[in-house]
Amino acid sequence: MKKFINDPMNVVDETIAGLLKAYPNHLKLVTGSPRSLVRVDAPVKGKVGICTGGGSGHIPVFLGYVGPGLLDGVAVGNVFSSPSSDAMFAATKEVNGGAGVLYLFGNYGGDKMNFEMSAEMAEMANIPVKMSIAADDVASAPRSEKERRRGVAGIFFAYKIAGAKADTRADLDAVKATSDRVIENTCTIGVALTPCIIPAVGKPNFTIGDDEMEVGMGIHGEKGIERTKIKPADEVAAIMADRVVNDLPFKRGDEVAVLVNGLGATPPEELFILNSKFSDILKGQGIKVFRTYVGEYATSMEMAGASLSLLRLDDEMKKLLLAPAFSPFLLQWK
Amino acid sequence: MKKFINDPMNVVDETIAGLLKAYPNHLKLVTGSPRSLVRVDAPVKGKVGICTGGGSGHIPVFLGYVGPGLLDGVAVGNVFSSPSSDAMFAATKEVNGGAGVLYLFGNYGGDKMNFEMSAEMAEMANIPVKMSIAADDVASAPRSEKERRRGVAGIFFAYKIAGAKADTRADLDAVKATSDRVIENTCTIGVALTPCIIPAVGKPNFTIGDDEMEVGMGIHGEKGIERTKIKPADEVAAIMADRVVNDLPFKRGDEVAVLVNGLGATPPEELFILNSKFSDILKGQGIKVFRTYVGEYATSMEMAGASLSLLRLDDEMKKLLLAPAFSPFLLQWK
């Protein structure tokens, strides 16, 4: 296991320690809750607080999106494991500025159960809480069963747009409605080339041949929909775009935001090669690209692979997508 | 070779194509020069233009730092190969807003030769050009022979600060002086865990044991100063910090900027674990951290590894480091 780590059991706590030392002006730990972080200026009075959370190992998901114009708080668990409901509730209390709190997270059983428990605790503490659950991975279940779909990189769009909506001082119902609308209009598919190693386990989380790729694999190595020989980038891009476009479906005349996300070890150069083809395909289908984001927005540690997310935009989303936002992972100067 | 590519010979051109399709509002190709890119608003009248360039395979170096508050133009070569002097001169002409052009690049023989040839062409075209050459890799030669040192991730600090200096409408000599001062006060060391594969070659650029690391390896796989069994992160961090701190040397009372850079496949989690120790070591030595940057600022495709750069700051540098800047890789909202 070639990793810059000390004790594998301390990976998450040492990651948080290093993050706080890097960005002391931006993030702070919730007192007494070592896995809960909030904006340094939390709570923002009168603004809906937005909390996310989930397993570690996906930076910048989840810790990386806390900041002005984005999220207010986060709770993280061990690598690929849900945080506790106590950690979620600790963050909730810190980010409630009197307008309630939106839980915005990915659709995984453990996370959902714990956020629901945290919401019950919040209710008893008279903090209004609503939930918005990202389920953008089109490979994880057919569209007819979309409540079973997992949340993956497309949650970035919900973070950005819901964060900007909350900054307008919209109320909790309105922020939730915008977030839900983003989630309903976002579709993602991933392709994995290599596994990653959970430090506490010490071996790859799945096996795949040296000449194979897996379409639709989840960000924890969940089984995808097809394993094939690795294909040229243009063919891979066509397979990915086809799955995503036909799912919503995205149609001629739609305006979209595009996220080409690297899962960890895949270099930006390869993401741009994929984007070149995605761009051509969308243009060919009369789907207009409003903005493109290329980089590592949701990772699986050192997994090699990429995902494509498309969001069908409306006028409000376009405005909110471009609103100012800051987090250590997105905007370095402030 | 598990890569999202088409023809290995087209990797660079397809990367540029995908980049331009992603960021059409930020970057443009120089007409007739397919490896030269400039800011979409180039030339900026009355401002010193800053050009960089070098081999491909290091994104965000070099293409990723072109934008307001940063660089004006760039020329890139094949993977790990110098761009041509023609490509550099093509960018030079496009970014000259009447105040001359600074060439800011890393100390490699091919790049230096071609930038010098380009400078001669510029002189014949009555465009004043000066050069500022980054040579921050302390492992590549002893300090007594620092003109032989290679330029690595620390060039980011020179990009940022020289870019902000040029924005003040300082003249060419002043922008060069600031850039040179940053370079003189920047020290970097890298540690590599795995090689990368140049697409056109198709095999790893060096070999290293499954349980080994190499301290001081260059970003093209140049031989380092020590190969050992992989050590715990805290020990690796101590070795890195020791080399960097003692080189300049950085002293008690100095104020520094810290860059913890991932070489490609190393996850952000591990960079933060390293940063936690770097931060403690610097604090213990009375060296004050002004700002920390953690992420992928100069990569070697899918190489696993990390580098530490320290910049000793003065008041002007601190102000310029925090000045607004934008490029697709650094600031996503604008």
Nearest CA in chain A to B235: A6
d(CA A117, CA A69) in angstroms, rounded, equals 27
Both tokens of A163, joined, read 């964060």
Residue of A22, A57, A331 lying closest to B269 (CB–CB):
A57
The pLDDT assigned to A1 comes to 81
Hey, of B159, B197, B272, which one would you mutate to test binding to chain A, going by the most A CBs within 10 A of its CB? B272
d(CA A187, CA A155) in angstroms, rounded, equals 10
Residues 174..203 of A with a Cβ closer than 8 Å to B: which? 193-194
Q: Cβ contact (<8 Å) for B5 and A274?
A: no
Residues of B recognised as catalytic: 58, 220
Q: Tell me: the pLDDT tens digits for B274-287?
A: 999 999 999 999 99
d(CA A20, CA A16) in angstroms, rounded, equals 6
Q: Tell me: the pLDDT tens digits for B287-311?
A: 999 999 999 999 999 999 999 999 9
Please compute, for residue A164, the number of CA atoms within 13 A of its CA located in the half-sphere on the CB side: 19
Residue B333 has pLDDT above 60, yes or no: no
Residue of B268, B325, B328 lying closest to A333 (CB–CB):
B325
Q: Tell me: the pLDDT tens digits for B252-272?
A: 999 999 999 999 999 999 999
Identical fold between A10-184 and A186-319: no
Both tokens of A104, joined, read 């915005």
Q: Tell me: the pLDDT tens digits for A140-155?
A: 999 999 999 999 999 9
The pLDDT assigned to A334 comes to 39
d(CA B219, CA B302) in angstroms, rounded, equals 11
Residue of B6, B265, B294 lying closest to A232 (CB–CB):
B6
The pLDDT assigned to A127 comes to 98
Q: With contact defined as beta carbons under 8 Å apart, do A152 and A218 qualify?
A: yes
Taking CB atoms and an 8 Å cutoff, what residues of chain B touch A210?
Answer: 2
Q: Cβ contact (<8 Å) for A273 and B4?
A: yes
The superfamily CATH assigns to domain A186-319 is Dihydroxyacetone kinase; domain 2 (3.30.1180.20)
Q: Cβ contact (<8 Å) for A269 and B15?
A: yes
Name the CATH architecture for the domain at A10-184: 3-Layer(aba) Sandwich (3.40)
Arithmetic mean of pLDDT, B155-166: 97
Both tokens of B218, joined, read 């260059």
How far apart are the two ends of chain A, measured CA to CA in Å? Answer: 37
A325: exposed, middle or buried (Cβ count in 10 Å: 0-12, 13-18, 19+): buried
B328 close to A (CB below 8 A): yes
Arithmetic mean of pLDDT, B126-136: 98
Arithmetic mean of pLDDT, B175-184: 98
A265 close to B (CB below 8 A): yes
Number of H helices, E strands in chain B: 8, 12
Helix (H, G, I), strand (E, B) or coil at B301: coil
Nearest CA in chain A to B7: A232
Residues 222..261 of B with a Cβ closer than 8 Å to A: which? 230, 232-234, 236-237, 258, 260
Q: Tell me: the pLDDT tens digits for A219-241?
A: 999 999 999 999 999 999 999 99
Q: Cβ contact (<8 Å) for B267 and A292?
A: no
Extents of the domains making up chain B: 10-184, 186-312
Cα angle A219, A220, A225 (rounded to 5 degrees) comes to 70
- Distance, C-alpha A236 to centroid of its chain: 22
Q: Tell me: the pLDDT tens digits for B311-327?
A: 999 999 999 999 989 89
Residue at B315: amino acid letter: D
Q: Which CATH number fits domain B186-312: 3.30.1180.20, 3.30.70.260, 3.20.20.140, 2.30.40.10?
A: 3.30.1180.20
Helices (H), chain B: 11-22, 85-95, 109-124, 155-167, 172-184, 233-247, 268-284, 315-321
Q: With contact defined as beta carbons under 8 Å apart, do B306 and B297 qualify?
A: no
Taking CB atoms and an 8 Å cutoff, what residues of chain A touch B193?
Answer: 2, 4
The Cα-based distances of A92 to A87, A115, A168, B173, B259 in angstroms read: 9, 10, 20, 53, 32
Q: Cβ contact (<8 Å) for A22 and B272?
A: yes
The pLDDT assigned to B331 comes to 63
Residue of B56, B267, B276 lying closest to A14 (CB–CB):
B276
The pLDDT assigned to B334 comes to 39
Mean of per-residue pLDDT scores for chain B = 96
Q: Cβ contact (<8 Å) for B333 and A329?
A: no
Residues 6 or more apart whose Cβ sits within 8 Å of residue B109: none
The pLDDT assigned to B281 comes to 98
Residue of A57, A292, A302 lying closest to B22 (CB–CB):
A292
The pLDDT assigned to B275 comes to 98
The pLDDT assigned to A263 comes to 97
Report which of B14, B134, B31, B35 is spatially closest to residue B82, judged by C-alpha positions. B35
Q: Other CB atoms closer than 10 Å to residue B144's CB: what's the count?
A: 7
The pLDDT assigned to B1 comes to 81
Q: Cβ contact (<8 Å) for A4 and B274?
A: yes
Residues 40..99 of A with a Cβ closer than 8 Å to B: which? 56-57, 59-60, 64, 69
Residue at B68: amino acid letter: P
Tokens 């933060």 -> residue: B272
Residues of A recognised as catalytic: 58, 220
The packing angle between helices A85-95 and A109-124, to 10°, is 50
Residue at A131: amino acid letter: M
Residues of chain A with pLDDT under 50: 333-334
ipTM of this predicted structure: 0.97
B29 close to A (CB below 8 A): no
Arithmetic mean of pLDDT, B107-124: 98
Q: Cβ contact (<8 Å) for A22 and B332?
A: no
Interface size, chain A vs chain B, as Cβ–Cβ contacts under 8 Å: 208
Q: Which of B79-88, B152-161, B201-210, B249-258 has the lowest mean pLDDT?
A: B201-210
Report which of B324, B267, B260, B332 is spatially closest to residue B298, judged by C-alpha positions. B260
Hey, of B269, B289, B290, which one would you mutate to test binding to chain A, going by the most A CBs within 10 A of its CB? B269
The pLDDT assigned to A331 comes to 63
Pairing assessment for the beta strands A255-262 and A226-229 based on DSSP bridges: unpaired
A29 close to B (CB below 8 A): no
